[in-house]
Amino acid sequence: MSSKKIITFLLFLALSPYLQAEFSGKIVTPAPPRVAASSYILQDFDSGRILAEKNADKVLPPASLTKVMTAYVAFTELKAGRLSLDEKVRVSEKAWRTQGSKMFIEVNKRITIENLLQGIIIQSGNDASVAVAEHIAGNEQAFAEMMNEEARRLGMNSTHFMNATGLPVPNQHYTTARDLAKLTRAVIRDFPEYYKWDAVKEFTFNNITQKNRNTLLWRDESVDGVKTGHTEEAGYCLIASAKRQKMRLVSVVLGTKSKSARANESQTLLNYGFRFFETHKLYDANTVLASPRVWKGATEIAELGLAEDLFVTISRRHYDEMKASIDLDYKIMAPVLKGDRLGSVNVTLRNKIVSSKPLIALTSVAAGSFFQRAYDSALMLITSNNGK
């Protein structure tokens, strides 16, 4: 066989999977990169689509990634009005003596909640974490129960906290990459006014300036969070989030070998996601998408839409191939309550469903009068007979 034919044959072998996929209607996206970590996940923030994962449900110690939940509980208290940023916290001896990374607060000094939260988020202060926990719940153990309650509410079903810092408690203080991604999306979604602190590169307190340990903040201008962690048991960990144009990704990397490794592996995952995928907002929440007939109701029309914005994440350069369709319940009968599911919105790409969301009633429709119900019953009977 000539060298030209050999090259042609080898090229055909290399391209054959892509050719087969093209003829079969499949979309080929390069496989995720190899990531040197015990566990990882890469997720689109808006659509929730998982773009890459490995051992994402493996239970592991989270180290200081715990503090994302510590901050989330504090943010929840702020939103509920049970806490204020200018509220001052008296530093206990227990908080001051807490081992590990520090904000360098002093016993009996009174520090504002705002400063303590910045010390937790930017400086990863264990002392600040304990001080906040004690102020909110009375003691750290009670605060850990608040953390666990929030974890349950967020669907973090493989997570359990024993403290506010992430200091090791073998077999009792644990989480997963998937659960941490859920938590991170909740922080960004629910508290954007406080999430901005995750992008701050350094913070000075008590005349001591400390840099944010997330080195991606200096390396990649699209990165604006989230948190580093390290213990001997957990290895080097990093939750990262980046936004490029209108697309935001969240990555969680657990159990790498070094500070540089956790940054490099996180950067690799983020670059993969942005390079090969794109996210689009197709429909707004609470916008009327369909107005079907309602039988036996006080009005004849129900307004249907989505409870949440509908985003889809797809392989790049295939946006024009997407199709959306609305499937409605066959006959909608009054009464209809706001929030009732009455159909679905389905988005397909090359005949494969990429998203399906419930279509709900945006307003209620009460039952009609006796005359209206009788009239519609007769009309339905006539329509049914004509259809036979």
354-364 pLDDT, tens digit each = 999 999 999 99
Architecture (CATH level 2) of domain 284-386: Sandwich (2.60)
Say if strands 322-328 and 277-283 run parallel, antiparallel, or are unpaired.
unpaired
Which of these is catalytic: 47, 64, 101, 355?
Answer: 64
Judge whether 67 counts as a catalytic residue: yes
Reported as a pLDDT band with limits 50, 70 and 90, residue 25 is low
324-342 pLDDT, tens digit each = 999 998 889 989 999 999 9
SS3 assignment, position 123: coil
Which of these is catalytic: 67, 102, 182, 227?
Answer: 67
Which of these is catalytic: 39, 47, 92, 124?
Answer: 124
CB within 8 Å of 221: residues ≥ 6 apart = none
**10 Å Cβ neighbour count for 362?**
18
Question: What mean pLDDT comes out for the span 40-58?
Answer: 98
pLDDT attached to residue 387: 53
pLDDT attached to residue 266: 98
264-307 pLDDT, tens digit each = 999 999 999 999 999 999 999 999 999 999 988 899 999 999 99
For the chain, where do the domains classified as CATH 3.40.710.10 start and end?
39-280
For the chain, give the mean pLDDT: 91
Cis check: omega of the bond before 168, within 30 degrees of 0: no
For the chain, where do the domains classified as CATH 2.60.410.10 start and end?
284-386
What homologous superfamily does CATH list for 39-280?
A: DD-peptidase/beta-lactamase superfamily (3.40.710.10)
184-200 pLDDT, tens digit each = 999 999 999 999 999 99
Reported as a pLDDT band with limits 50, 70 and 90, residue 103 is very high
170-184 pLDDT, tens digit each = 999 999 999 999 999
